[in-house]
Amino acid sequence: MTVENATLHPSGTLEPSTADHQLTQTLKQALDLIGVRVLDHFIVAGTQVYSFAEHGQL
């Protein structure tokens, strides 16, 4: 089983925050315990999208 996560940044800032990085790591660790793999974490800011996977941050 796999999952993808999305976080909205209504401020328009596309750069991942420290909290975004922490959330990604917490999700990965927790879901790994039940055999679920995190495929990506997306940040959406307006019409722009940042992919943790594309930036090698998973």
Q: What is the DSSP string of the chain?
A: -EEEEEEE-TT---SPPHHHHHHHHHHHHHHHTTT-EEEEEEEEETTEEEETTTTT--
Question: Does 36 map to a domain?
Answer: yes
User: What pLDDT does residue 28 have?
Assistant: 94
Whether the predicted pLDDT of 58 surpasses 90: no
Question: Does 16 map to a domain?
Answer: yes
Kindly indicate the confidence band of residue 15, based on its pLDDT and cuts at 50, 70 and 90: very high
16-52 pLDDT, tens per residue?
999 999 999 999 999 999 999 999 999 999 999 999 9
Domain with 29 in it: what CATH number? 3.40.140.10
Domain count of the fold of the chain: 1
Rounded Cα distance between 10 and 55, Å, is 21
Rounded Cα distance between 52 and 39, Å, is 9
